[in-house]
Amino acid sequence: MNSHAPPPGEGRRGFFKQTAAIFLGAVTALVPLAAGLLTMLDPLRRKAGPAGFVHVTSLSALPEDGSPRRFSVIADRSDAWNKIPQVPIGAVYLRRQGVLVHALNVTCPHAGCAVEYRPASGSYLCPCHNSKFKIEGGLADPRSPSSRGMDTLEVELRNHTEVWVKFQNFEAGKAKKVAIA
C-alpha cells in the first residue's frame, strides 16, 4: 500500500505548503526551546555580592612573630533563593607586622583549592597541585602551576584593635588578579 517515492512537484502551491510546514514546525519547536535557553542562561546575569569589609578578628589574636593564622570569614550569604545570616563564606590568612596586618585569601589562584600554611618551611602549599607560595603570598617556586601569587585582600584596623578584611574571591587560572563579579 505504501509508496515511498517523492511526490511529483506541484509548482508554486507545493512550494508554499512546504515552506509553511517548515516555518510553522520551526516556530512550534523554537518556543519551548527559547524559553528553556533563556532560563538556562539566567546565571549569566547574576552578580557576586558586593565585596564589603568584614570584622574577622582582633589584633591581639594575631601572633606577634609575624607567622600567619587562618580565620574563617563570617558574613551573610545568598545562595539562589536562600539568605543565610552569618555563616562562613570563606577563609583568610592574617599576618601581623607591627601594627600592620596583611591578609591573603586561602583559595589557590590556580584552580581554587584551599592553600595550607607549612610552619616548618614558612611557606604555603596547595595540596591539590603543589603550588608553593612565600609567606607574603608571592610564588615561591617558578614551577608552581599557579600563574600568580596568592590573592591579597584589603585590611582595615578599626578602633585600634578590630581587624576588618574586604573579602573577595578572584578568578582562578589567570596571571592577572580579577575579582569575580
Partner 1 sequence: MKALLDWLDHRTGCRKLLQEALFENVPGGSRWRYVWGSTLTFTLAVQFITGIFLWMAYNPSSQTAWESVYFIQEEMLGGWLLRGLHHYTAQAMNILLVLHLMQVVIDGAYKAPREVNFWFGIALLGLVLALSLTGYLLPWDQKGYWATKVATSIAAITPFIGPELQKLIIGGAEYGHHTLSRFFALHAGVLPAAVIGLLVGHIYLFRRHGITAKQPYRKPDEKFWPEQVLKDAVACLAVLAAVLFLVIRYGAELTAPADPADNYAAARPEWYFLFLYQLLKYFPGESEIIGAMIIPTLIMVLICLMPFFGRWKRGHRFNVSLLYVLLAGVALLTWKAVQADQANPEYLAAVRQAGKDAERVKVLARGPNGIPSAGAVTLLRNDPFTQGPKLFAKNCASCHRYDGQDGTGLVSTNAPAAADLKDFASRAWLTRFLDPAHIATPQCFGGTKHVEGKMVKFVQKDVAAFSTNDQVMLRKAIAALSAESKLKSQRDLDGRDAALIQEGRQLIAGETLRCTECHQFRKKDEDATAPDLTGYGSREWLTGIISNPKHPRFYGKRNDRMQSFGEEKILDSVAIGLLADWLRGEWYEPAEAPVE
Residues 137-156 that bind partner 1 (CB under 8 A): none
3-class DSSP state of 16: helix
Q: Cβ 144 to partner 1, closest distance in Å?
A: 36
Stretch that binds partner 1, among 54-62, 81-89, 111-119, 136-144 (CB under 8 A): 81-89
Stretch that binds partner 1, among 80-88, 89-97, 99-107, 119-127 (CB under 8 A): 80-88
Question: Could you give the CA distance from residue 26 to residue 30 in angstroms, rounded to a whole number?
Answer: 6
Residues 20-79 that bind partner 1 (CB under 8 A): 20-21, 24-25, 27-29, 31-42, 45, 78
**Residues 12, 60, 65, 81: which binds partner 1 (CB under 8 A)?**
81
Q: Cβ 49 to partner 1, closest distance in Å?
A: 12
Is residue 100 near partner 1 by the rule CB under 8 A? Answer: no
Is residue 86 near partner 1 by the rule CB under 8 A? Answer: no
Nearer Cβ to partner 1 (1/99): 1
3-class DSSP state of 176: coil
Q: Which residues contact 33 (CB under 8 A, 6 or more apart)?
A: none
Is residue 120 near partner 1 by the rule CB under 8 A? Answer: no
Buried b (16+ CB within 10 A) or exposed e, 92-106: bbbbbeeeebbbbbb
Stretch that binds partner 1, among 17-25, 49-57, 93-101, 123-131 (CB under 8 A): 17-25
Number of neighbours of residue 90 by Cβ within 10 angstroms: 20
Pairing verdict, β 82-97 and 69-79: antiparallel
E strands, 80-133, in order: 82-97, 100-105, 116-118, 123-125, 132-133
Question: Could you give the CA distance from residue 34 to residue 61 in angstroms, rounded to a whole number?
Answer: 55
Q: Cβ 89 to partner 1, closest distance in Å?
A: 14
Residues lying near partner 1 in the complex (CB under 8 A): 1-7, 14, 17-18, 20-21, 24-25, 27-29, 31-42, 45, 78, 80-85
